[in-house]
Amino acid sequence: MLPPIVEGAPLQPAAASEHPQRLRVVSWNMKAGRGSSLSAIAQRLASLAPDVVALQEVDVDTRRTGRVDQPVTLAAALGFHHAFAEAIPWSGGRYGIATLSRYPFQSLRRIPLSNTAAGEARTALDAEICAAGSCMHILNHHADVRPLAAEQSTREILAHVAGQPGQRTIFLGDLNQTPDAPGPTACVAAGLTDVGARLDPQPTQGDRRIDYAYVDLALASCIAGFHVEPASESDHAALVLDLDLGCLSR
């Protein structure tokens, strides 16, 4: 049985949004803070002025990163709500993914993954938030490095999306696959918009583009901007997606 999702609310609320007409969503594989200090990662996130953050490679209370609860620490720095989904026990603590949000979570659940071909167990988190009177699902995933496993988990997430017809969905994460691989190809075939391919297709790790932001048809017309943000604190760049709140409310 998988561990429960751990969530928490901010003790101090976030400062007012720097872009009140937009919803800014950031996705970043932060390498568990092993390439930088956690304070530098918090500063980087704050500089991006996000409203929602999907993080991959996140540690909670592990020896290797100093027994720090990284989601709690980063959420506190931003004044955000947080949710952490453990993928595996690691280094005396837990390792997984986290979603942080200016807005309260309306619902949180894991997306079931079979992990039958994975080198290590992976997870995916579906967080529902509401902004400007409109609700949407933010899906966060870090796929396995084995190609067959990465493809499999991506397709299982697509099945989850297909099971929620008519819901506004953003699918974010490090998929460990290049755009021509079966998983990303299946996302586009399923009708999702690869925002990076459309607006900023530069590599996100080394010379490869393996980190993605997808939106469904209900959100595609509300895209107000997107860019890949180089980030020295990790071996991955961050993805910054803006949605037009006025468009969302229509």
Q: How confident is the model at residue 1 (pLDDT cuts 50, 70, 90)?
A: confident
126 belongs to a structural domain: yes
- Are 191 and 216 in contact by the 8 Å Cβ rule? The answer is yes
Q: How confident is the model at residue 130 (pLDDT cuts 50, 70, 90)?
A: very high
Quick count: other Cβ atoms within 10 Å of Cβ 1?
A: 3
**Can you give the CATH number for the domain in which 65 is found?**
3.60.10.10
What is the pLDDT of the chain when averaged over all its residues? 96
Tokens of 220: 């595609």
Alpha carbons 58 and 28: distance in angstroms, whole number: 10
198 belongs to a structural domain: yes
Alpha carbons 62 and 92: distance in angstroms, whole number: 5
Count of domains for the chain: 1
127 belongs to a structural domain: yes
pLDDT tens per residue across span 81-99: 999 999 999 999 999 999 9
Nearest to 238 by CA among 92, 98, 91, 48: 48
pLDDT at 248 over 90: no
167 belongs to a structural domain: yes
Is residue 8 classed as helix, strand or coil in its secondary structure?
A: strand
Alpha carbons 27 and 213: distance in angstroms, whole number: 8
pLDDT tens per residue across span 185-241: 999 999 999 999 999 999 999 999 999 999 999 999 999 999 999 999 999 999 999
1 belongs to a structural domain: no
Residue with token string 């997107």: 226
Give the single-character DSSP code of 237. -
pLDDT at 173 over 90: yes
pLDDT at 165 over 90: no
Q: Residue 35 is part of which domain span? A: 6-12+20-248
pLDDT (average), residues 139-165? 96
Is residue 113 classed as helix, strand or coil in its secondary structure?
A: coil
Query: Using CB atoms within 10 A of its CB, is residue 207 exposed (0-12), middle (13-18) or buried (19+)?
Result: exposed
Q: Indicate the residue type of 22.
A: R
Orientation angle between helical segments 147-162 and 182-189, nearest 10 degrees: 20
